[in-house]
Amino acid sequence: MYVGIKAVKPLPNHKLLVTFENGEQRIFDVTPYLDHGVFQDLKNPAVFNSVRVSFDALEWPNGADLCPETVYAESAPAKGATCATI
């Protein structure tokens, strides 16, 4: 099942609050990616916090991106969280 990403909000400790098109909110931890390729740049808080939604996926200005299927599969349900598009 494909569910695109509607909104994202950066959180502390390299986590993202992600809202999907079906209204579900989930927490995605970027930490496992931080030692690989362009994701190393996300260790810089300014770069990490510049995340945005692009074509239903997550994208950073340095070229790092994550597809919605990966974000959904590797995230956990958020409880009582709210998310606004940034």
CB contact at 8 A, 51 and 10? yes
Taking the model in full, what pTM does it have? 0.89
Question: 5-77 sits in which CATH class?
Answer: alpha beta
Q: Where are the domains of the chain?
A: 5-77
Residue 1 has pLDDT above 80, yes or no: no
For 4-51, write each residue's pLDDT tens digit.
Answer: 999 999 999 999 999 999 999 999 999 999 999 999 999 999 999 999
**What local confidence, expressed as pLDDT, does residue 23 receive?**
94
Residue 55 has pLDDT above 70, yes or no: yes
Distance CA 39, CA 76 (A): 21
Residue 84 has pLDDT above 50, yes or no: no
CB contact at 8 A, 72 and 3? yes
